[in-house]
Amino acid sequence: MSAQVVGWPPIRSYRKNTLQAKKYVKVSTDGAPYLRKIDLNNCKCYPDLLKALENMFKFTIEREGYNGSEYSPTHEDKDGDWMLVGDVPWNMFVNSCKRLRITKGSEARGLGCA
Protein backbone atom coordinates (compact mmCIF):
# COMPACT_ATOMS: atom_id res chain seq x y z
CA MET A 1 0.00 0.00 0.00
CA SER A 2 1.45 3.38 -0.96
CA ALA A 3 1.19 6.61 1.01
CA GLN A 4 -1.07 9.30 -0.34
CA VAL A 5 0.81 12.02 -2.16
CA VAL A 6 -0.09 15.40 -0.71
CA GLY A 7 -0.19 18.43 -2.97
CA TRP A 8 -0.37 16.52 -6.20
CA PRO A 9 -0.16 17.61 -8.97
CA PRO A 10 2.71 19.88 -8.04
CA ILE A 11 2.36 23.61 -8.63
CA ARG A 12 5.17 24.99 -10.70
CA SER A 13 7.35 27.59 -9.03
CA TYR A 14 6.26 30.41 -11.35
CA ARG A 15 2.61 29.77 -10.41
CA LYS A 16 3.49 29.77 -6.71
CA ASN A 17 5.17 33.15 -7.11
CA THR A 18 2.19 34.50 -9.04
CA LEU A 19 -0.29 33.32 -6.41
CA GLN A 20 1.77 34.73 -3.55
CA ALA A 21 1.91 38.17 -5.18
CA LYS A 22 -1.88 38.51 -5.05
CA LYS A 23 -3.77 40.01 -2.11
CA TYR A 24 -7.43 39.47 -2.99
CA VAL A 25 -10.11 40.72 -0.62
CA LYS A 26 -13.87 40.47 -0.99
CA VAL A 27 -15.79 43.66 -1.66
CA SER A 28 -19.48 44.03 -0.86
CA THR A 29 -21.73 47.00 -1.34
CA ASP A 30 -25.10 47.83 0.17
CA GLY A 31 -27.90 46.78 -2.13
CA ALA A 32 -25.81 44.45 -4.33
CA PRO A 33 -26.73 40.75 -4.06
CA TYR A 34 -23.21 39.57 -4.93
CA LEU A 35 -19.61 40.05 -3.82
CA ARG A 36 -16.63 40.97 -5.92
CA LYS A 37 -12.90 40.64 -5.31
CA ILE A 38 -10.11 43.16 -5.72
CA ASP A 39 -6.35 42.64 -5.64
CA LEU A 40 -4.92 45.20 -3.22
CA ASN A 41 -1.45 44.76 -4.71
CA ASN A 42 -2.70 46.33 -7.95
CA CYS A 43 -3.28 49.56 -6.04
CA LYS A 44 -0.36 51.67 -4.87
CA CYS A 45 -2.28 54.04 -2.57
CA TYR A 46 -5.75 54.97 -1.35
CA PRO A 47 -6.65 57.12 -4.39
CA ASP A 48 -5.86 54.12 -6.65
CA LEU A 49 -8.08 51.88 -4.52
CA LEU A 50 -10.96 54.38 -4.56
CA LYS A 51 -10.67 54.74 -8.34
CA ALA A 52 -10.75 50.95 -8.76
CA LEU A 53 -13.84 50.70 -6.53
CA GLU A 54 -15.54 53.49 -8.47
CA ASN A 55 -14.87 51.66 -11.74
CA MET A 56 -16.05 48.35 -10.26
CA PHE A 57 -19.36 49.64 -8.91
CA LYS A 58 -19.97 52.65 -11.20
CA PHE A 59 -20.38 55.37 -8.55
CA THR A 60 -18.31 58.25 -7.18
CA ILE A 61 -16.61 58.47 -3.79
CA GLU A 62 -15.53 61.87 -2.52
CA ARG A 63 -11.76 62.09 -2.16
CA GLU A 64 -11.54 64.69 0.64
CA GLY A 65 -13.13 62.78 3.49
CA TYR A 66 -16.43 61.01 3.28
CA ASN A 67 -18.62 63.75 4.77
CA GLY A 68 -21.48 64.38 2.40
CA SER A 69 -20.52 61.46 0.15
CA GLU A 70 -23.27 59.05 -0.75
CA TYR A 71 -20.94 56.04 -0.28
CA SER A 72 -18.25 55.33 2.30
CA PRO A 73 -15.74 52.49 1.90
CA THR A 74 -15.00 50.62 5.12
CA HIS A 75 -12.72 47.68 5.84
CA GLU A 76 -12.44 44.91 8.38
CA ASP A 77 -9.00 44.36 9.85
CA LYS A 78 -7.49 41.17 11.26
CA ASP A 79 -9.00 41.91 14.69
CA GLY A 80 -12.51 42.11 13.26
CA ASP A 81 -12.80 45.88 13.72
CA TRP A 82 -14.52 47.94 11.00
CA MET A 83 -12.87 51.24 10.07
CA LEU A 84 -13.11 53.80 7.31
CA VAL A 85 -10.72 53.24 4.43
CA GLY A 86 -7.88 55.71 4.85
CA ASP A 87 -7.74 55.70 8.67
CA VAL A 88 -4.43 53.82 8.79
CA PRO A 89 -1.25 54.06 6.69
CA TRP A 90 -1.47 52.29 3.31
CA ASN A 91 1.02 49.48 4.07
CA MET A 92 -0.73 48.67 7.33
CA PHE A 93 -4.06 48.64 5.51
CA VAL A 94 -2.85 46.21 2.84
CA ASN A 95 -1.40 43.85 5.46
CA SER A 96 -4.42 43.88 7.78
CA CYS A 97 -7.43 44.20 5.45
CA LYS A 98 -9.63 41.09 5.42
CA ARG A 99 -12.54 42.49 3.44
CA LEU A 100 -14.08 45.73 2.17
CA ARG A 101 -17.63 46.97 2.44
CA ILE A 102 -19.06 50.02 0.75
CA THR A 103 -21.87 51.42 2.87
CA LYS A 104 -24.23 54.32 2.49
CA GLY A 105 -22.49 57.41 3.87
CA SER A 106 -25.04 57.82 6.65
CA GLU A 107 -24.34 54.30 7.96
CA ALA A 108 -20.58 54.87 8.21
CA ARG A 109 -20.87 57.76 10.69
CA GLY A 110 -19.11 57.03 13.94
CA LEU A 111 -16.46 54.81 12.37
CA GLY A 112 -13.92 57.56 11.75
CA CYS A 113 -13.46 61.25 12.20
CA ALA A 114 -16.78 62.15 10.57
pLDDT score, position 95: 93
Measured at the CA of 20, the angle between CA 19 and CA 23, to 5 degrees, comes to 90
Q: pLDDT tens, 87-97?
A: 999 999 999 99
* Cα–Cα dist 76/58, whole Å: 22
* Cα–Cα dist 43/46, whole Å: 8
Measured at the CA of 99, the angle between CA 19 and CA 44, to 5 degrees, comes to 60
pLDDT score, position 38: 93
Cβ(75)–Cβ(92) under 8 Å? Answer: no
Backbone dihedral angles phi then psi of residue 74, each to the nearest 5 degrees:
-125, 160
Q: What is the mean pLDDT of each run of 10 residues along the chain (114 residues)?
A: 53 58 88 87 93 86 63 91 92 95 69 48
Q: Return the SS3 of 37.
A: strand
pLDDT score, position 107: 59
Hey, what domains does the chain have and what are their CATH numbers? 22-108 (3.10.20.90)
